[in-house]
Amino acid sequence: MSIKSFASLIFARYIVWQTNKWKSQPEIVQQNVFRKLLEKAKHTEFGKDHNFSGIKTHEDYVREVPIRDYEELKEYVNKMVEGRKDVLWPGKPLYFAKTSGTTSGAKYIPITNESIKEQVLASRNAILNYIDETQSPNFVDGKWIFLQGSPELEELNGVQLGRLSGISAHYVPNYLQKNRLPSWETNCIDDWETKVERIVDETESENMTVIAGIPSWVQMYFERLKLRSNENIGDLFKNFQLFIYGGVNYEPYRAKFEELIGRRVDSIELFPASEGFFAYQDSQTEKGMLLLLNSGIFYEFVRVDTFYEPKPKRLTVGEVEIGVDYVMIISTNAGLWAYNLGDTIQFVSLKPYKIIVSGRIKHFISAFGEHVIAKEVEYAMQKAIIETKAIINEFTVAPEISPPAGLPYHEWFIEFETKPKDMNRFIKVLDLSLQEQNSYYFDLIDGKVLQELKISPIRPGGFQAFMKKQGKLGGQNKIQRLSNDRSLADMLQEYTE
């Protein structure tokens, strides 16, 4: 065992000891976070507008600070983008993380000095927790790869602007710099297909022990490696021990990964976002991710089935139950207050608090990290109908993750009343409209991670026959507009033309 791996064992034990301390008193920890956030921000514009100085209890906070999503907080964010100080958090943010927008444009999520430090610590602690649990630290001596966006940043009124993964690339600790791949130059390549080929060049002969990234992107990297080397990934990288992922459910990819690798490797699931780092998998044998209650984020939870009520009850950690879908509401040290992240979670444990991500409050597709929502596909469909004079009865969209050949794609199941005279034009309008609305989808198409969408026509009356078979014909039942897996798509296959 090397000095580095031995030191990591000792450090890991210390971090787990620290974690166990706050895990043992979760409600007290959250109350302390709550008080510190309000105290820090009480002189900001938002704090003055919402009487932070007078808030003493969670009930006060609920009364003064309504739940908001990005669009509802945008008035304050725009002031920060224009260069104003002390708006949502003291001073200016260090960064804006540019994320996918809808028809209203891109989102600019503030990241502060305090919040980026917590993001970095959470990433580090997830790995140290794994080391302590497995007592297998030798992978720290090998090469690590993080498949991520370009670390090149822009400047916007004195604030650095980029994708979260690119921002995070600036915070790789010194003790990992020699282990880290790919090179900085390769990381800065924008075209994903070119970038993957360069990464293969730089890594195929290295001792790769840790590989991290969104599963769909990592799968593409593995496929290129296997094509180049004609070896399973597990044979090419004999010491490959750990796959780290987040943002996308790994399960649809697991079988393909194990086929490519040739064996099973340990994995750690993370729950990061531009808005904060919320949880990480802390056990290789137990379900769920540890909710990070001591990381500058105050959590509230609203039952999904009550979320659209005029005044839904906002719960703190001491009031939640196992197995219930909650919308997760966050207040953070980046200045997001009672912010609806859009994610829904379930608790799988209350001692400690452990969660799984159960979806989004609205239907969506994010099999590749694109976060496509119903509004976007419906707008694209409307545009295609107008421009081609097609008429449709119904449609739904699902991802095709592992097609028999070629790149993955979105599959649109459409029942036409009148088909467009030029189906290729119809497809092109749909796809370009979706790219225009959703920057993540554009990046995936532009980077050749996804190919252009495909249409599977449903025979006349097919959707009605399907709903009847499901016992959901008529009433308030609707075809789910978006699915993030193939369950609905597979059932629809028998109704295609």
Phi-psi region of 288 (alpha: psi -120 to 50; beta: other; left: phi over 0): left
Judgement on whether residues 355 and 450 belong to the same structural domain of the protein: no
Count of domains for the chain: 2
Q: Which of 361, 388, 404 is the last residue of a domain?
A: 361
Parent domain of 413: 364-495
368 shares a domain with 354: no
* pLDDT value for 477: 55
CA 342/CA 327 separation, integer angstroms? 7
The one-letter amino acid at 408: P
Last residue of a domain, one of 361, 392, 415: 361
334 and 416 fall within a common domain? no
Statement to judge: residues 381 and 349 lie in one domain? no
CB 462 within 8 A of CB 470: no
Say whether both 356 and 237 belong to one domain.
yes
- Give per-residue pLDDT as tens, 355-375: 988 766 766 788 898 878 767
Cα–Cα distances in angstroms (integers) from residue 206 to residues 20, 43, 200, 237, 382, in the given order? 36, 52, 10, 8, 50
Predicted local confidence at residue 191, as pLDDT: 78
**371 and 317 assigned to the same domain:** no
Residue 432 and residue 314 share a domain? no
Rg (CA), the chain: 24
Cα gap 111→274, rounded to integer Å = 8
Please tell me whether residues 307 and 400 are part of one structural domain: no
Which residues of the chain are under the pLDDT cut of 70? 100-105, 248, 252-253, 359-360, 362-363, 374, 473-478
**Pairwise CA distance, residues 149 & 170, whole Å:** 12
Q: Report pLDDT for 476.
A: 44
**Confidence at residue 146, expressed as pLDDT on a 0 to 100 scale:** 87
Listing DSSP states for 316-378 in one string gives -GGG--BT--EEEEEEETTS--SEEEEEEEEEEEETTEEEEEEEESS-EE-TTS--EEHHHHH
| 257/405 same-domain check | no
Among 490, 422, 411, CA closest to 457: 411
**In CATH, what number is assigned to the domain containing residue 491?**
3.30.300
Where a domain ends, among 342, 361, 380? Answer: 361
- Domain check: are 346 and 387 in the same one? no
| CB atoms near residue 330 (< 10 Å) | 20
How far apart are alpha carbons 354 and 332 in whole angstroms? 19
393 and 324 in a common domain: no
370 and 446 assigned to the same domain: yes
Which CATH number does the domain housing residue 92 bear? 3.40.50.12780
Query: 435-453: string of b/e by CB count within 10 Å (b at 16+)?
Result: bebbbbbbbbbebebbbeb
- Among residues 332, 328, 334, which one has the least CA distance to residue 315? 328
Helix (H, G, I), strand (E, B) or coil at 242: strand
